[in-house]
Amino acid sequence: MQESTESLRVSITLDVRGFDCPMPVLKTKLALRALATGEVLRVLATDPMAVVDLRAYCAKTGHELLGWSGDAELEFLIRKGGVPG
């Protein structure tokens, strides 16, 4: 992960561990709607497809995937872009 939670101010942590596709992306979308542009969402997930799904979601919607780490338990940091949820 390029930036860690220690160097960023995380606004919300979303725990979607135990949820499979498509729930991690759907819950991430809802959580991002609650944030202002530029705020950071931390997502905790266990679904290995979350890496592919969240990368695609961020690329499609204009949010910035700052990075991710982990194997069995994944951590993502997403900065809200200037687009609606």
- Which residues share a beta bridge with 14? 43
Identified catalytic residue from 1, 8, 12, 21: 21
| 30-to-2, 65, 79, 85 alpha-carbon distances in Å | 24, 16, 14, 7
Active site residue 58: no
Catalytic residue IDs:
21
